[in-house]
Amino acid sequence: MVREIAYDCDVLVIGGGIVGLSTAYAITRAAPGTRVTVLEKEPGPARHQTGRNSGVIHSGIYYRPGSLKAQFAARGAAELIKFCTEYDIAHAVTGKLIVATERDELPRLHALIQRGRENGIPVRELGAAQIEEYEPEVRGLAAIHVATTGVCDFVGVAHRLAEASGALIRYDARATYIDRRPGLGVAVRTDDGTVVRARVLVNCAGLHCDEIARLTGDEPKMRIVPFRGEYYTLARPDLVRGLVYPVPDPAFPFLGVHLTRGIDGSVHIGPNAVPALAREGYDWRTVHPRELGSTLTWPGSWRIARRHWRYGGGELRRSVSKAAFTRAVRRLLPAVTPDDLIPASAGVRAQAVLRDGTLVDDFLIQEGPRTVHVLNAPSPAATASLPIGREVAERALAALTAT
């Protein structure tokens, strides 16, 4: 006699950030009647990466043609703007400048122009005098204007996805143990002792995704190394009209200190990228020895340090010295002074790092028996959340069919 398993849901999503919620939303849209539960350890959605970024709707100009980032960013931006319009979520299409301030940046700027065209992104090349048409206080040798960039309220998007998905969202529910057995589905125990049984598990745990993957018995072959992004608010927001970025360093997957006028009219400056001492280490005082030990014992962490020590040293210097941070900002905005910079909330980026020290620069999705793991979802994950959600949902529904 075969005992029938009583499943609490068909698909269980761990993580209530924008990727997890967009996955739940996509599953219920693609397969009505599918029972979806989302476990989120915080008391509400979007408390970490989704709610602690610059709020930019990225155009897709930076990303390698053919990569998942390039495929999803432009499409995701258009869909996100439509979603925000439909559900009356605050947003604005502002455009942005990418500005070269040194001569050795000009070849990289021209390469970005070509990459943007390959990705189907409309760009306008600007000379030094033309920069002032868009940003009177910004100085540079040349620039690109990208008209399709904007800003929005990503926390508002996450709340609306949660409501519209029809999924059961359980907050204050941290997954502490996962039991996956052939033919028996996946059972997840939360920190209050509740057990949730599902046919398929989707791991969208962001800063903790590698830990969740190992709890299922799957080896992710990477580790999350957290980098804190430190921001300031500009005391004189009239100095900046829209969004202004430096030419990024192609060797490092961060975009550098940039200027962002948000939907509330304030201007954020940052982020500075420094190693965090905890996965949710939003300041230097927050240290979690177990998580720090996980970072320090991963061989890739030391290989990053050896490879990028000069870049990292500059980031650390700007972290501890407001004067050094101000000098970095003045390359783009000469009028800024240290008194103009008011400390603001920081964010932490969940950066996937391979054993050889490679910083994973694209979305990384790995599948196992009855599991789908989103192991790297860096910027532009929020921008591309709707197409990413569909991609993960498609894999989850395929796994569900296979069961």
Q: Is there a shared CATH topology between the 9-49+156-222+361-402 domain and the 225-359 domain?
A: no
Radius of gyration from C-alpha coordinates of the chain: 21
Position 1 pLDDT exceeds 50? no
* CATH T-level assignment (fold) for domain 225-359: D-Amino Acid Oxidase; Chain A, domain 2 (3.30.9)
Summarize pLDDT for 66-81 with one digit per residue, the tens. 899 998 998 999 999 9
Check: CB of residue 249 under 8 Å from CB of residue 100: no
Distance of CA 323 to the CA centre of its chain: 28
Question: Model-level pTM greater than 0.85?
Answer: yes
- Domain map of the chain by residue range? 9-49+156-222+361-402, 96-147, 225-359
3-state helix/strand/coil string of 110-172 = HHHHHHHHHCCCCEEEEEHHHHHHHCCCCCCCEEEEECCCEEECHHHHHHHHHHHHCCEEECC
Summarize pLDDT for 301-351 with one digit per residue, the tens. 999 999 888 878 888 999 999 999 999 999 999 999 999 999 999 999 999
Q: What pLDDT is stored for residue 75 in this prediction?
A: 93
* CATH T-level assignment (fold) for domain 9-49+156-222+361-402: FAD/NAD(P)-binding domain (3.50.50)
